[in-house]
Structure 1
Amino acid sequence: MNTQETGAIAVFGGTGQQGGAVVDALLARGARVRALVRSPDSDRAQALATRGVELSAVRIDDPATTVAALKAVDAFYFMTPEANSLEEVEEEVRVGAALVDAAAAARVPHVVFNSVFGADRETGVPHHDSKHRIEEYLELSGLRATMVRPTAFMENFATVMAPSVEDGTIVLRLPLPDDIALKMISIKDIGQVAASILLGTADVPGGAVEVIGDELTGSRIAAAFGAHAGLPARYEALPLSVLGNDLDKAMFRQFAEASEYPSDLAAVRAIEPSTRDLAEWIRSTGWTAPTDLVRS
């Protein structure tokens, strides 16, 4: 599909991390992008505009604005605001349903929903089950739809799950047993996969793909960072009690349970061959070991 000769690709969530990665990938491939935004004057929206992205102001409580923004587009990518509390779960579902209704009213040819790994079943994780409900609603809409289901983000190893260096050793600590392999993907690669689907350059059998770039136990993750830094490495499993809230505890339980389900890394690379494993992500991001913490 040559989007420059036909319609635009609409993106809702383009000012966020995952939606922004989709915009990046689409622009890199020469696609016309229309970002559906709530605040066109915001710094993030204006940053998109300076790159040639068309901005369309939408209000979820005014369906006509979203329907108008979706007229004559070739495809529509959307993700819903991540729920950080049980109260926000219902709001996430409401937003998702409103976007599906608008896409149906605008007769969008193809909708791609950025969901989450395991959303084809109820998991007991509130902010994952919300996406399960949106997927069900989308399937009932009659629209041609593809579900993109990412796993844990590799980028978390640069922030909340970052390894430390202690007495010359890379140390990684996670609330995950060491016999459990964590499924993971880079946010940039989520964007690449979604762009390939939106532009019609890849087929997704069954209408859904679990987006996984690598699957490693804690010890192997630590070893990957150690190999890059040229340092010994070890992994220490933590109890779930170290997590600050019930949503995070439920999510890490789901990470552990997800290891019981087979991963198809080849299916992801069939869609986007450039999808990176963890070692490639570490190299490509220029990750460097943090300052050594010398224990007394």
Structure 2
Amino acid sequence: MTSPTRTVLVAGATGKQGRAFIEAVLHSQAESVQDIRIVALTRNPNSPSSKELSHASDRVQVVRADLDQPDTVRKAFQDASQSEGGLWGVFVVLAFPGLGADATGEERQGKAHHLIFSSVERGDEGYDDKLTLDRLAKVQIERHIRSLTGLRWTFLRPAFFMENFDGTIGSITNTVLKCGLQKTTKLQLIAADDIGHVALGVFQASDEYASKAVVVIGDALTTQELNEAHVRGAGKPLGSVPNFLGKALLAANKHTKGLISDMERVHNDREALPESSAVLIAQCRTLYPELQTFEVWAKNRGRKKERKANWNNVTIGELATGKR
């Protein structure tokens, strides 16, 4: 007798993390994953990325739902709950609103639904009430989820995306980090694709990870170690711009300066906590053994498709001015 299908609803299905999770499910050879069916939520089922998802497998159903329109999401939940085996799991990723942008929309979206929630690594939770914008929104979403009774939840807290070093924005990012961070500060890193695999690992061990937060991290390096790892992996240094531009950005853009300050705080918090970066990486590897180091990511990045422009809601102009 075959086991009933387990339906997982994915909000943010056409985004980087959502797609990575879906691909992890479809490509997994584990028997425990073969019965998982995906309901992929998207605002526009007719978009090229949505059509690509719908053609990926008969285990994927693309459904229209807008996180800013709760009724459409509620219907998707209800329909999925009435499917064979019912609604077994939810993975929700909310789009980064943009550097320095108001995040009340993100918070509103997150409070509308139940989920394995992709949040953000922020070191010690004791600093949560001092956070602002998208980081504060994620804290408020986590608190809301914790307050719901009878709900099984897991928070994923990804570190800094390795993909932030792609392209022209990546060259600027590298320079800003070199100019802004202390030489001994280690930046926690994760490849965006790996977050989906970690989420799948959590679903496969749901009892073990219920009511827990998982910091999703694949490497932790100083800016010098970053460049050395990139040379080993890609055969060339990370892209960069003149240092005076990096220093000018830090001086002119309070949001960029605040991000650097928060990276320093997270590093210092993590150094003082029992769960060091090395411990966190080891924990993530139990969920996904093929977790990429920055060196491996640099080696693999040439095989990836070019990222679409403005993928993380930050343009060069906005990075320079802090305005949207």
TM-score for both structures, normalised by structure 2: 0.73
**Letter in structure 1 aligned against 2:70:** P
- SS of 1:99's equivalent in the other structure is coil
Instruction: Decide which of 25, 30, 37 is 1:32's aligned counterpart.
Output: 37
- SS of 2:193's equivalent in the other structure is helix
Conserved? CA contact 1:161–1:174, under 8 Å: no
Deviates more, 1:123-132 or 1:241-250: 241-250
1:172-200 per-residue CA deviation (whole Å, 9 max, x = no partner) reads 84532222100000011111101111233
Asked if 1:215 corresponds to 2:220, the answer is yes
Structure 1 regions of 5+ residues with no counterpart?
A: 101-110, 165-171, 288-296
CA 1:51 to 1:152, structure 2 compared with 1: closer, same or farther past 3 Å? same
- Larger strand share, 1 or 2: 1
Q: CA deviation at 1:123?
A: 4.8
Identity %: 26
Which residue number corresponds to residue 56 of structure 2? 51
Q: CA deviation at 1:247?
A: 3.2
- SS of 2:20's equivalent in the other structure is helix
Deviates more, 1:277-286 or 1:244-253: 244-253
| Whole-angstrom CA distance in 2 between matches of 1:163 and 1:223 | 18
- SS of 1:34's equivalent in the other structure is strand
Paired residues for 1:162-173 under 5 Å: 162=171, 173=178
| Whole-angstrom CA distance in 1 between matches of 2:135 and 2:162 | 18
CA 1:113 to 1:234, structure 2 compared with 1: closer, same or farther past 3 Å? closer
- SS of 2:201's equivalent in the other structure is helix
CA 1:267 to 1:179, structure 2 compared with 1: closer, same or farther past 3 Å? same
Deviates more, 1:276-285 or 1:138-147: 276-285
Q: CA deviation at 1:243?
A: 7.4
Conserved? CA contact 1:97–1:137, under 8 Å: yes
Which residue number corresponds to residue 285 of structure 1? 301
**Letter in structure 1 aligned against 2:122:** G
CA 1:158 to 1:202, structure 2 compared with 1: closer, same or farther past 3 Å? farther
Structure 2 regions of 5+ residues with no counterpart?
A: 29-33, 271-275, 304-324
Conserved? CA contact 2:10–2:40, under 8 Å: yes
CA 1:243 to 1:48, structure 2 compared with 1: closer, same or farther past 3 Å? farther
Paired residues for 1:129-208 under 5 Å: 129-142=136-149, 143-159=151-167, 160-162=169-171, 173=178, 175-200=180-205, 203-204=208-209, 207-208=212-213
| C-alpha RMSD over aligned residues | 3.2
CA 1:240 to 1:188, structure 2 compared with 1: closer, same or farther past 3 Å? farther
Conserved? CA contact 2:157–2:215, under 8 Å: yes
Instruction: Decide which of 106, 119, 125 is 1:115's aligned counterpart.
Output: 119
- Larger helix share, 1 or 2: 2
Asked if 1:13 corresponds to 2:12, the answer is yes
Asked if 1:127 corresponds to 2:134, the answer is yes
Which residue number corresponds to residue 290 of structure 1? none
1:6-26 per-residue CA deviation (whole Å, 9 max, x = no partner) reads 221110001111111111112
| Whole-angstrom CA distance in 1 between matches of 2:129 and 2:230 | 34
Q: CA deviation at 1:244?
A: 6.6
CA 1:54 to 1:234, structure 2 compared with 1: closer, same or farther past 3 Å? closer
Conserved? CA contact 1:76–1:198, under 8 Å: no
Instruction: Decide which of 252, 257, 260 is 1:252's aligned counterpart.
Output: 260
Which residue number corresponds to residue 104 of structure 1? none
